[in-house]
Structure 1
Amino acid sequence: MVFHGLAQRQEAVLGLCRQRRLGEAVRALLSCNPSSVPPLIYSSVLQLCTDLMAEKEGRSVHELISISAAKNDPYLATKLVIFYEEAFNTFVLMKRDGWKANQFAYSSVLKACAEMESAVNGHQIHAQISKSRFSENPFVETALVDFHAKWGRIEHARRLFDETKNKDLTSWNSMISGYVFRRLDHPAIHLFKSFLRHGHHPDHFTFASVAKACSRLRDASMVNQIHAILAKTGFQHHILAVGSVIDAYAKCKNTQTARLLYDSLPEKDLISSTALISSGEDPVELFAMINRAGLGADNVLLSASISACADLLSLSSGRQIHAFIFKKLPRNDTAVGNSLIDMYAKSGEIEEARRVFEEMPVRNVISWTSMITASGRHGKGEEALAMVKEMEREGCGANEVTFLAAMSACGHAGLVEEGRRLFQSMVVDHGLSPRSEHFACLVDLLARGGKLEEACEVVGKMGVACLGWSSLWGALLGGCGVHGEVGLGEMVAARLFHLEPGRWVNCVVLSNLYASARLWEDARRIREMIRETGRPRKSCGYSLLHSLRKRETAPLLGYTQHFN
């Protein structure tokens, strides 16, 4: 059967699904550009896979969804969960009936456990495999690596990977993507280098994982190397691989190369366009270009566009995209609403952020956390605390990021006791484990509130665990600077000089601490040390004013000239 045109192919897929001709429907779907297929088409095929218990076809559809613009659609995510739950339940029923599983069944059910995020079921399946004759089967070993890398113990996954005798491309991809999934980006890159040294050739999934690791590390030189390998291996026009590299260039602030790579694509799609939109160029101009190309705009692209406006503090651009959303999107999207809250808050429009928040029909924990962060950033600590209580009344449980935002809001507003109670509530009432950022925030809260002795007690109780946490020591030094505690400040600064020898802001804080105590010789000594070690001169600060007519800057710090 031959189809001409995207619309005809998509209609053919729906027609084949209605006739329950799954094989032909999947083949027709494979002939479409994944980024151009709407969620409805994927949903119809997935439903048929679930009805027919067609595991192989369902996984093929999942792979297409994972590289498409529809991968973040919540309705599709639910369909995928249902599909994998059915697969797992079928496996259990067949085992009860005395059926002997083979390597493909074990591989599939482990995939189902990973997708359902079911660690308990996955470990039970692993126990069954270890007693079977398939414990050293390559398919099963790879599935075990993938499961443990995502929902088990990463060191267990690595041990299984190292013990695999005949590693194929899928095995390497599973381990690399597992590291990236756990945000262990350095091990992912080291493993990728080992992969190349063994003479293997990457595919688009490999490039996507490694590029994501490089983008988080802001490793521009490594991104250049990935780009070179991508071109040499013939993936320079593959949508997923190139989109990942564009995103990595954008995160590393290499706007020019990101744009050149995007322009070199023979066929643009929403994935590569969304990656480009965060590169630092004018988001409204890029957004208009994407629309003119007829690519449309999905929720992911809109969220990325608004976030780009927020990063550039471009309120006017953000409002233009907001107007487009208001006109074109009939249903409100939570992710887009969250991006709008963040954009308005960063631009100083706290009331606009509040209005967007209150108009959202569905609010998740990110929505509440964004609004709490916005309130704290604008010095509204009491309002932030009230929102924490309100979100709990509405049944939306706070997470670690929410508590961090609320504690930070208390710190900015001088609400020491309230911030301390939040920290205790997070640990005792909610059972959440505090991270280094929470301890640093608590120390900052106490130190700036004049409770330096208590802040030191918090540091002392942690012992050697906090010796390498520069943010915590920096918070304590800041408190010493506020309250003129020279002796303690000197000890804390010594620790920071050891942890961050090239971070001159610590020297400046210590110098200012000496100056505030009228210890002029000590202050001069620190300043001389900064000059002698060749610290680059700090560029002059300036204020940026947004005007309806023009854009002007006002020089600060020792400049006497004025502007109109």
Structure 2
Amino acid sequence: MKSIKSQSKLSRHVLTATKNAESLIIQTLDKSPDVRTLKKLHSRIISDPNLHSDTSLAIKLMRAYAARGKPEVTRKIFDRISQRNNVICNVMIRSYVNNHFYRDAILMYKSMLASGIMSDHYTLPCVLKACSASDDLRFGLQIHCPAVKKGLDLTLFTGNGLVAMYGKCGNLEDAKRVLDEMPCRDIVSWNSMVAGYAQNGRFDEALEVCKEMESLGVKPNPGTMASLSPAVTNTSKENVMFMKKIFLGMSKEELVAWNVMIAVYANNSMSTEAVDLYLQMETNGTEPDAITIASVLPACGDLSAVSLGKQIHEYVEMRGLKPNLSIENALIDMYAKCGCLVEARKVFDEMQIKDVISWTSMMSAYGRSGKGQEAIELFSKMQDLGLAPDSIAFVSILSACSHAGLLSEGRNYYRLMTEEYKIVPRLEHYTCMVDLLGRAGRLDEAYTHIKQMPMEPNDRVWGALLSACHVYNNMDIGVVAADHLFQLAPQQSGYYVLLSNIYAKAGRWKDVTLIRSIMKGRGIKKIPGVSNVELQDQVHTFLAGDRSHPQSEEIYEELESLLGKMKEAGYVPKTDTALHDVEEEDKENHLVVHSEKLAIVFAIINSKPGILIRVTKNLRVCEDCHVAIKFISKIAEREIIVRDTNRYHHFENGICSCGDYW
């Protein structure tokens, strides 16, 4: 009797200890432990017969390993469970999906059905997500049929999964039909539909869904903005303003909303707005993350806002956001656009991992600054490391050869691309070759190259030829190029101006007048020149003939004084490309107030002697400004970097890096 009582007491003690151990393990698993702790708990469970057979513990262990990115361990635990149900299978499927093993998730679902285990409203959303991520519309359709039979398509989560799957796979009509038939919809339902249209470039329909949401009293959230963002690259200003309206209606604590709006501005050539919004975000106290940084850095580069770019770089270092390929590539791009090649190369050299974009960005930076040999050295080093150049890398090296006048090297790279790497030339490669030949003065060969293209040349190809004709005063081929350009890009004022300048150089003023008459008849206006210069963390913008700046009077006085010194040094205004057949004095007065001259003089007045000046212009620098800035760099003893739409110009001691061809 005493022995029986002792055994009973021992059993209760063991049971209590087991329950305590189980409780402690559950508490630890619920706290998302690291992999090392998980392994210890796992060993404890395996070694204890009472815990080893506990299915609920196994499920928690599976979830914990999945959360730590270990779906292969989750699968081992799953395989050891003899009695499986849909809960266990759902955990396994979700483990695969959350770790991006989408094909495995689909195979797991098929195995589950083959074992006679029925799916439920938790299973289908996960499998549909796997179909979406792997663009498997065919299997998604197979899931939809049984979902309808069971009535699961009417549940919120399954309905949302169907909308997302059809939208991601491009079947937008079925996505909209599912959305319209859902008896209950939430913000995820609407955002999935918005994302479907946006990902397929149908921005107008995406906007209509947003308007339908609002009409039904559903307030857009940061997820809505994130869903819209794929479609707002190079879109209309009206669409950007619609995004701004959504953004303004949101809480300013939402980092996602800030990130999307900054990216929208940056991707639509609204760099000033992107930088301003970033500064507002800082003022608001919202801390930027890696996505914010990668989005705003290109805008800093576009504005040559190198001071702000350096501050952001310091923030990246302070917050330990490196290594991060997107940020580091964006830093290279920003420094390169600002003409800071030393800083760009330092970021490049310090990168632990480099991809083709990293190499391409650095080569492009050297190329646009006229440092073709440096670009060639990088290209060779990339090959030596076993990294195969892609078509974009060849665009960079061909462009570098073009800007540096390396004709034979450019031809060799073109041959390497087509014959060794078997890359089919795209329009960008043809543009580079036409530009390369044009720079060398081989206009007939460049024209022949265009005529032999297997596809129709675009405006950039003909534009490269027209630019070469402008430099070498080849009117015959220039007129042919212009004729094609007026058909391909009838509203692009720059091409009319180039042809007009070719006529003006030849003194054919009747033809100049004719071109201006055509422009007027078509409602085409010459795009006003705009130049940006950064000073003390603020970007100052100047238009041609601008007198709106608070320091305008001082700027014009200094410009007049500088002009006198330039003429004494031998400067003669290049009035032969002025658009009007008017008096030389009037032409000269028109040229002297171009925006880049005003920006440079402003920087000279407001910065210490010897400080480098950086200017960004929205148009190509005109010939007169190019000559004038060479004189200014020598007289003012300043290094001046001007980035126009075609390249970087490094002016120092009266010489420009472009060799007077751009």
TM-score (norm 1): 0.68
1:531 correspondence with 2:520: yes
1:285 correspondence with 2:279: yes
Could you say if the C-alpha distance between residues 530 and 263 of structure 1 is closer, same or farther in structure 2, counting changes exceeding 3 Å?
closer
| Equivalent residue, structure 1, for 2:259 | 274
Give 1:374's match in structure 2, choosing from 341, 351, 365.
365
Cα separation, 1, equivalents of 2:28 and 2:277: 33
1:441: how far off? 2.0
| Equivalent residue, structure 2, for 1:506 | 495
Could you say if the C-alpha distance between residues 262 and 446 of structure 1 is closer, same or farther in structure 2, counting changes exceeding 3 Å?
same
Give 1:355's match in structure 2, choosing from 321, 332, 346.
346
* Contact map agreement 1:26 1:57 (CA 8 A) in 2: yes
1:91: how far off? 9.7
1:550: how far off? 8.8
Cα separation, 1, equivalents of 2:541 and 2:470: 34
Cα separation, 1, equivalents of 2:179 and 2:319: 51
2:456 maps to a residue whose letter is C
| Equivalent residue, structure 1, for 2:486 | 497
* Contact map agreement 1:376 1:412 (CA 8 A) in 2: yes
1:446: how far off? 1.7
Could you say if the C-alpha distance between residues 174 and 524 of structure 1 is closer, same or farther in structure 2, counting changes exceeding 3 Å?
same
1:265 correspondence with 2:250: yes
1:350: how far off? 1.3
* Contact map agreement 2:336 2:365 (CA 8 A) in 1: yes
Could you say if the C-alpha distance between residues 113 and 388 of structure 1 is closer, same or farther in structure 2, counting changes exceeding 3 Å?
farther
Give 1:338's match in structure 2, choosing from 314, 317, 329.
329
CA shift digits 1:233-266 (9 cap, x unpaired): 6653444223333676686556665455335335
* Contact map agreement 2:331 2:344 (CA 8 A) in 1: yes
1:225 maps to a residue whose letter is E
1:447 correspondence with 2:438: yes
CA shift digits 1:440-470 (9 cap, x unpaired): 222222223222232233222235x215x22
* Contact map agreement 1:543 1:553 (CA 8 A) in 2: yes
| Equivalent residue, structure 1, for 2:477 | 488
| Equivalent residue, structure 1, for 2:225 | 242
1:531: how far off? 2.5
1:277 maps to a residue whose letter is I
Cα separation, 1, equivalents of 2:67 and 2:537: 46
Could you say if the C-alpha distance between residues 298 and 538 of structure 1 is closer, same or farther in structure 2, counting changes exceeding 3 Å?
closer
Cα separation, 2, equivalents of 1:141 and 1:239: 33
Cα separation, 1, equivalents of 2:252 and 2:355: 36
1:522 correspondence with 2:511: yes
CA shift digits 1:92-123 (9 cap, x unpaired): 9x89xxx7999999999998799689xxxx9x
| Equivalent residue, structure 1, for 2:194 | 207
Cα separation, 1, equivalents of 2:127 and 2:448: 50
Could you say if the C-alpha distance between residues 14 and 48 of structure 1 is closer, same or farther in structure 2, counting changes exceeding 3 Å?
farther
| Equivalent residue, structure 1, for 2:302 | 311
Please give the secondary structure, in 1, of the residue aligned with 2:453.
helix
Gaps of 5+ in 1: 1-7, 30-39, 66-78, 143-166, 180-187
Cα separation, 2, equivalents of 1:232 and 1:62: 38
Give 2:377's match in structure 1, choosing from 381, 386, 395.
386
Could you say if the C-alpha distance between residues 392 and 283 of structure 1 is closer, same or farther in structure 2, counting changes exceeding 3 Å?
farther
| Equivalent residue, structure 2, for 1:12 | 31
| Equivalent residue, structure 1, for 2:52 | none
The count of aligned residue pairs is 470
1:558 correspondence with 2:549: no
Identity, in percent, stands at 25
| Structural mapping, 1:91-130, within 5 Å | none
Could you say if the C-alpha distance between residues 136 and 209 of structure 1 is closer, same or farther in structure 2, counting changes exceeding 3 Å?
closer
Cα separation, 1, equivalents of 2:401 and 2:377: 12
* Contact map agreement 2:304 2:532 (CA 8 A) in 1: no
Cα separation, 1, equivalents of 2:493 and 2:282: 42
1:407 correspondence with 2:403: no
1:466 correspondence with 2:437: no
1:477: how far off? 2.2
1:482 maps to a residue whose letter is V
Cα separation, 2, equivalents of 1:517 and 1:382: 36
1:12 maps to a residue whose letter is K
1:380: how far off? 0.9
Cα separation, 1, equivalents of 2:380 and 2:406: 16
Cα separation, 2, equivalents of 1:41 and 1:285: 39
Cα separation, 2, equivalents of 1:497 and 1:9: 71
| Equivalent residue, structure 1, for 2:644 | none
Please give the secondary structure, in 1, of the residue aligned with 2:591.
coil
Could you say if the C-alpha distance between residues 62 and 135 of structure 1 is closer, same or farther in structure 2, counting changes exceeding 3 Å?
closer
Could you say if the C-alpha distance between residues 504 and 308 of structure 1 is closer, same or farther in structure 2, counting changes exceeding 3 Å?
closer
2:191 maps to a residue whose letter is H
1:225: how far off? 3.1
Cα separation, 2, equivalents of 1:141 and 1:432: 46
Return the structure number with greater relative CO, CA threshold 8 A, min gap 6: 2
Give 1:432's match in structure 2, choosing from 423, 427, 430.
423
Cα separation, 2, equivalents of 1:455 and 1:141: 62
Cα separation, 1, equivalents of 2:389 and 2:241: 40
* Contact map agreement 1:342 1:370 (CA 8 A) in 2: yes
1:43 correspondence with 2:68: yes
Give 1:137's match in structure 2, choosing from 131, 136, 142.
142
1:12: how far off? 2.9
2:258 maps to a residue whose letter is S
Cα separation, 1, equivalents of 2:197 and 2:262: 20
Please give the secondary structure, in 2, of the residue aligned with 1:282.
helix
Cα separation, 1, equivalents of 2:192 and 2:59: 24
The structure with more radius of gyration: 2
Please give the secondary structure, in 2, of the residue aligned with 1:518.
coil
Cα separation, 1, equivalents of 2:178 and 2:483: 43
* Contact map agreement 1:84 1:116 (CA 8 A) in 2: yes
CA shift digits 1:193-213 (9 cap, x unpaired): 994799567542221232355
Cα separation, 2, equivalents of 1:401 and 1:9: 50
1:57: how far off? 3.8
Cα separation, 2, equivalents of 1:382 and 1:137: 57
Cα separation, 2, equivalents of 1:444 and 1:103: 65
1:368: how far off? 0.8
| Equivalent residue, structure 1, for 2:15 | none
2:31 maps to a residue whose letter is A
| Equivalent residue, structure 2, for 1:5 | none
| Equivalent residue, structure 1, for 2:317 | 326
1:206 maps to a residue whose letter is M
CA shift digits 1:145-188 (9 cap, x unpaired): xxxxxxxxxxxxxxxxxxxxxx9876664454245xxxxxxxx8
| Structural mapping, 1:223-234, within 5 Å | 224-232=207-215
Cα separation, 2, equivalents of 1:521 and 1:9: 87
1:355: how far off? 0.9
Could you say if the C-alpha distance between residues 360 and 135 of structure 1 is closer, same or farther in structure 2, counting changes exceeding 3 Å?
closer
Cα separation, 2, equivalents of 1:363 and 1:135: 37
* Contact map agreement 1:55 1:108 (CA 8 A) in 2: no
1:320: how far off? 1.4
